[in-house]
Amino acid sequence: MADAANNIVMNSDNPEAMVPDGNVDPSTERLTRKQRLAAALRLFGKFGFDEGVAGHITVRDSEHKDHFWVNPMGRSFKQMCVSDLLRVDHEGKVVEGEGLLNGAAFTIHSRIHMANPHITAAAHSHSLHGKAFASLGRKLDPLTQDACAFYEDHALLESFTGVVLDSAEGDRIAGLVSDNKALILQNHGLLTVGASVDEAAWWYITMERSCQAQLLAEAAGTPKPIPHEYALKTRETVGSDLAGWFSFQPLYDVIVAEQPELLD
């Protein structure tokens, strides 16, 4: 799928047409971001990434850059709609929408968005294979083509100090993702970021599956990693911003067709 994205760029007379337009009306862009956010949350629910009230995806507001949209605490991923989303400022005030703000969501995402203007969206959840792999306290190996998307492009938060409610811990997380697309939080789970909801959500989905693949491979035997040179070369194809955005598009189309009420 990501290979197809690269071919489109190379063969198109207008490669910019393949990516979201950054010069649109802020209100139009806001609605698009909220629709993608609600769809990503529905997909997380569909894939079983929900665990009680844990987990959150955020996207920066298109006009108020110090505000972000987030899912309310206590609302199932599987039932999330555009109208459920909360707009929150960097001080933790809910300025639009009704519902509870998850304290950990605010601590993590506010610090990420404050410290990293280039990051538009961030995703975190307590998915099964992600938290199982996180308990090992190590990074992913380049065992598969898909895992190469994260080769030398993800970090490890090497200690667990409890639920992330301390702003200093949020700052540590924000610093680790500033130059990486993903973070493994030891004994906790996965976190991914991107220039769009589409990208951040796709990185989370494929990272969760890459964790699953490595756990299975190591349980079965001794896997052979892809050599450094080829892992880097593969990352250029499957790990680009465009590849992340493009890979999410079929998932978005399917979830909206299956559950159109999410756009309400």
User: 172 pLDDT exceeds 90?
Assistant: yes
User: 88 pLDDT exceeds 90?
Assistant: yes
User: 121 pLDDT exceeds 60?
Assistant: yes
pLDDT in tens, 220-253: 999 999 999 999 999 999 999 999 999 999 999 9
At 150, the pLDDT band (50, 70, 90 cuts) reads very high
Provide mean pLDDT across the span 125-131. Answer: 97
User: 56 pLDDT exceeds 90?
Assistant: yes
The pLDDT value recorded for residue 108 is 92
pLDDT in tens, 91-107: 999 999 999 999 988 99
**What's the pTM value of the predicted model, to 2 decimals?**
0.91
The pLDDT value recorded for residue 15 is 37
The pLDDT value recorded for residue 22 is 54
Provide mean pLDDT across the span 86-91. Answer: 95
User: 118 pLDDT exceeds 60?
Assistant: yes
At 53, the pLDDT band (50, 70, 90 cuts) reads very high
Provide mean pLDDT across the span 137-143. Answer: 98
At 166, the pLDDT band (50, 70, 90 cuts) reads confident
User: 70 pLDDT exceeds 50?
Assistant: yes
User: 1 pLDDT exceeds 60?
Assistant: no
pLDDT in tens, 14-52: 333 444 555 778 899 999 999 999 999 999 999 999 999
The pLDDT value recorded for residue 14 is 38
Provide mean pLDDT across the span 150-154. Answer: 98
pLDDT in tens, 179-212: 999 999 999 999 999 999 999 999 999 999 999 9
Strand partners of residue 184? 156, 190
The residue extents of the domains of the chain are 25-263
CATH node for 25-263: 3.40.225.10
The pLDDT value recorded for residue 164 is 76
3-state secondary structure the chain: CHHHHHHHHHHCCCHHHHCCCCCCCHHHHHHHHHHHHHHHHHHHHHCCCCECCECEEEEECCCCCCEEEECCECCCHHHCCHHHCEEEECCCCEEECCCECCHHHHHHHHHHHHHCCCCCEEEEECCHHHHHHHCCCCCCCCCCCHHHHHCCCEEEECCCCCCCCCHHHHHHHHHHCCCCCEEEECCCEEEEEECCHHHHHHHHHHHHHHHHHHHHHHHHCCCCCCCHHHHHHHHHHHCCHHHHHHHHHHHHHHHHHHCHHHHC
Provide mean pLDDT across the span 47-65. Answer: 95
